[in-house]
Chains A and B, each alone.
Chain A
Amino acid sequence: MTRRIRSQITRGSGELAILSLLAEQPLYGFEIARQIGERTNGALRFTLASLYPLLYEMEKRGWVEGRWQANEAGRDRRYYHLTSSGRKQLAPLRQEWRAFFQALDSLAGVSHA
């Protein structure tokens, strides 16, 4: 697998993971990274260096919107909210990934389930 393809897969999976999480509730950067790591048992892991460029890129596209808010402890955090445009991206992205895993499954017996 070339580096470019690997990078695109990583990026695409990151976008789907972030959009899916934010569809449940607004979260700030550290919490997004923590929840992705926890809920995938560490299979997907975001460092600061991989998370923020992606978040800013998604914000530029209008999929998410960052707003400074205080968390439960009264500390300011930049919470990312899913926009209506981001919500519209979710279904096609899920469909693309489903098709991708089905294709891999039929080819190499790799199931996503």
Chain B
Amino acid sequence: MPDWRERVRERLQATDAFSCREEVVEEIAIHLIEVYDAARASGLPEAQAVEVTLQEVGDWHDLARKISHAKSREQSVNYRTRSFWLPTLITLSGASFSLLVIQSMGIEPHLVWIDLRHLVSPPSVLYGRINMTFYWPWLASLPFFGALGAYLSGRSHASTRSRLVTGLSPALIMLVVMCVILPIALAIDGFSLFRLAVFGVWGLMNWVAIPAIALLLGTLPWLHRSDAARA
């Protein structure tokens, strides 16, 4: 059987007129699969079944133009809100609220000190040690929020990239915050490469990389929905 999704994506996106989302590609491909299956079930050989299926479309450029026209900007904004912004907001709020609750319950983070004094020349008491901060209960909740974001995004048939970004959004937001805070902090404290490395690595590990791994654990199963379920 031809890969109808790939064919629809290629044909529609090859036309300048097409400006719609993956959701449309998916719906059109599913329709073609149904037509093809019906043609095959009626006893047509594969080549003829493909021909009958393609007759449903006729002119790809014309179809792309009509769909783009029917799907106005408003529709496209609605889709983006439903498939990306809303799931991202829910994921972000959930992860933040979870941290807030854990902190308000008085649960202390688990600190692991890493001694860097042997790396510093000359040895510095001030920057010789950094701590890794593990809020275990919060980290344990993150796979759930990652999964929730990717699921909500996937439910609107968002692309794999959108689902991934939605699932990882709390960590990505922290990355943006770090990129803003770090230069400001260095400007206030005085710039040094060592300080940049220590604070940068500390911030990235504690608030970006480790939470991102936890979020990814929940996000991964929702990135690739089974084609069997879709077709």
Interface positions of A (Cβ within 8 A of B): 28-30, 33, 47-49, 52-54, 56-57, 59-60, 66, 68, 70, 74-78
A68 & B74 in contact (Cβ 8 Å cutoff): no
- Selected from A48, A68, A70, the residue in CB contact (under 8 A) with B56 is A48
Cα(A59)–Cα(B67), bound, Å: 12
Return the chain A residue nearest B231 by Cβ.
A75
Distance in angstroms between the alpha carbons of A66 and B66 in the assembled complex: 18
What's the Cα separation between A68 and B63 when bound, in Å? 22
Main secondary structure of the interface of B (DSSP, over half): helix
Is the pair A49, B56 in contact by a Cβ cutoff of 8 Å?
A: yes
Residues 65-116 of B at the A interface (beta carbon under 8 Å): 66-67, 69-72, 74-75
B59 and A49 form a contact (CB under 8 A): yes
Task: Point out the residues of chain B lying under 8 angstroms from A28, CB to CB.
Answer: 30
User: Which residue of the partner chain B has the closest CB to A77?
Assistant: B30
Check A53 against B231 for contact (C-beta < 8 Å).
no
- Contact bitstring B39-76, A, C-beta under 8 A = 1, else 0: 00000000000000001111100110011011110110
Known A29-B27, A60-B71, A60-B75: A47·B56 in contact at CB below 8 Å = yes
**Interface: B139 (CB within 8 A):** no
Q: Give the distance in Å from the alpha carbon of A59 to the alpha carbon of B157 in the complex.
A: 17
Q: How many residues of B contact A (CB 8 A)?
A: 32
Q: Is B230 an interface residue (CB 8 A)?
A: yes
Known: A47-B55, A47-B56, A74-B229. A52 touches B32 (CB 8 A): no
* Residues of A contacting B67 in the complex (Cβ-Cβ under 8 angstroms): 52-53, 56
Residue pair A30, B30 in contact (C-beta under 8 Å) = yes
A107–B77 Cα distance when bound, in Å, is 48
Say whether, besides A30-B35, A60-B72, A48 and B57 are in contact (CB < 8 Å).
Answer: yes
Query: What chain A residues lie within 8 Å of B31 (beta carbons)?
Result: 29-30, 33, 48, 52
Q: Are A57 and B30 in contact (CB under 8 A)?
A: no
- The answer, yes or no, to whether B156 is at the interface (CB within 8 Å) is yes
